[in-house]
Structure 1
Amino acid sequence: MFSINNKAKLLKVIAIFLLGVFLLLLTAKLLLKVNNINTQTLKLMFKMDALVISDGINDLPYRLYQPHDIEKTNKPPLVIVLQSAFRRGNNNYGQLTNLVDKFVSDEFQNLENAYVVAPHCPENMQWNNNKPTSAPYINYDMSEIEQSWRQTLIIELIDKLVEEKGVDPERIYITGISMGASGTWEMLYRFPEQFAGALILNGRSDPNKASQIAQTPVKIFHGQNDEIAPLNNSIKMKTALDKLNADVELKILEAGHDITHSAYDIDAFKWLLNQKKSNSFKRQING
């Protein structure tokens, strides 16, 4: 039997321990808040590997999701997810938003095991080398800007994953919203033979480059009330692609600029995973 003094000492130790745990949790919560890490970002940080690809001068941080049952999959597909201008930087977690979460979710992965890559765009940069402007962001001339090192490293990363992870080169997909959508359009222009399909949300592009972009099947989503990247951006590109008999669809949503949840649904996922480079109508007639 413990004496009264021993019980008091034990209770004191327990109280100090609990206080320590409380302070530790409080500190962790404050650190997460200061570093702009919410619950969703924290979850994705645990689910995705933190890696970097470099050209010797520039580093591009990225997160890689590797499916648990990937050994059962023959030549898995790959999805490249380009972030918006929100939370750019080099900490390699700012890009982990609901955009990325959609593609590592059970809803998507249950359709098919797929690798997912989410590169982190550096602060004060875009995916392309376009000069900074202010909203509304309208279509622009892609030929006036040079290919960016971010774009070059993304292609090198794709080649690396095809070689090292056995990714199916016939089923490499790309998607993005806002700045990431514009980056996606430009990737299709600069690398017309690279991607099997694209989902593009509220971006801007260059309808004069439709002949190169038409090589890749595209689903476009745009909010009709978007005041940041006007709906007319996508309408003009859709019109230009239609003239070339491209595989393109434009879905106009009753929304503004943030359309992630309304655009990425099960039908969009199924459509994307059904695309193969060898099945592209435009590639066949051009070949």
Structure 2
Amino acid sequence: MTRYNSIRVFLSILLITDVYGQKEQMKVDSKIVQKTDLNYLLFLPESYNNDQETKWPLILFLHGIGERGNDLELLKIHGIPKIVEKEKKFPFIAISPQCPADYDWRDEAMQETVLDLLEKTLNNYRVDKDRVYITGLSMGGYGTWALATKRPDLFAAAVPICGGGEPSTASLMKDLPIWVFHGARDEVVLPEESEKMVRALQKVKGKVRYTLYPNAYHDSWTETYANQELYDWLLSNKRTDHKKF
């Protein structure tokens, strides 16, 4: 059975209730004055209800620009939502918000909304708070860098794919394990966008590794998310393993 919840978030209203495996409305508070609607998909592992004591690692996934809007089915085209559609035993809780058409993950309003959403998920599901990971592709890769910069204390590791960030912020993330991916033939987001972040992190002795696919174009995410090594690496990192911020 698919363990998705389709949830709509409205700013400035308090959370009411949620029922496992059902479609509900979730409402969250935010400090933002501007109101922003946010849909998202929540995946719970097949065995989530088998043991009420087990706490699960969580992946926050940020999609690319082509999946913006209000159609949640678009999220299942790429990335983690595509994986969990087929892999019901995927050993993570996965939360995949959908950016509205007129926004970008780097917008302050969206960052705050996503962080509110993540906080509510951490408080309402059995999440191992020391194993919360963030990843995203293209626009979501940029968003991953932005949120890792904004709240490095929340995450155990980050995986930005074909994105980019601000090299001047590298010191804020130097203790956060980051695995960067890009396609060498990418003409949509040039590899230099990732590489300047990698160089900046290396300069401050950050915990960064970089995979450049020599024959990949913009889609460097399909191979990345299909690689079991990625998930093994994520699970090898805990928030308690790196310096407290």
TM over 0.5: yes
Equivalent position SS for 1:68? coil
Match of 1:101 in 2: 82
Match of 1:177 in 2: 137
Q: 2:121 aligns with which of 147, 161, 168?
A: 161
- Describe the superposition over 1:76-102 as per-residue Cα deviations: whole angstroms up to 9, x where unpaired: 111111000013102332222231222
Separation (CA, whole Å) in 2 of partners of 1:245 and 1:163: 33
- Describe the superposition over 1:84-142 as per-residue Cα deviations: whole angstroms up to 9, x where unpaired: 00131023322222312225543971xxx32111101101321112xxxxxxxxxxxxx
Structure 1 letter corresponding to 2:82: D
Structure 1 letter corresponding to 2:66: F
Structure 2 unaligned segments of length 5 or more: list them: 13-34
1:207-286 equivalence runs, <5 A: 207-253=167-213, 254-264=215-225, 265-280=227-242, 283=243
More helix by share: 1
* Deviation, structure 1 residue 48: 1.7
Separation (CA, whole Å) in 1 of partners of 2:167 and 2:211: 18
Match of 2:111 in 1: 151
* Deviation, structure 1 residue 64: 0.5
Structure 1 unaligned segments of length 5 or more: list them: 1-42, 130-147
Match of 2:60 in 1: 80
Match of 1:118 in 2: 96
More strand by share: 2
Preserved contact between residue 108 and residue 266 of structure 1 (Cα < 8 Å): no
The percent identity for this pair of structures is 28
Tell me which stretches of 4 or more aligned residues in structure 1 moved more than 4 Å. Answer: none
Structure 1 letter corresponding to 2:222: H
Separation (CA, whole Å) in 2 of partners of 1:270 and 1:226: 26
Match of 1:66 in 2: 44
Equivalent position SS for 1:168? strand
- Describe the superposition over 1:148-206 as per-residue Cα deviations: whole angstroms up to 9, x where unpaired: 22211211122212211121111111111100000000001111211111111100111
TM-score (ref. length: structure 2): 0.83
Structure 1 letter corresponding to 2:237: Q
Separation (CA, whole Å) in 2 of partners of 1:266 and 1:63: 22
Separation (CA, whole Å) in 1 of partners of 2:73 and 2:43: 13
Kindly tell me the number of residue pairs found equivalent between the two proteins.
218
Structure 1 letter corresponding to 2:161: L
Equivalent position SS for 2:94? strand
Superposed CA RMSD: 1.9
* Deviation, structure 1 residue 244: 1.7
Equivalent position SS for 1:269? helix
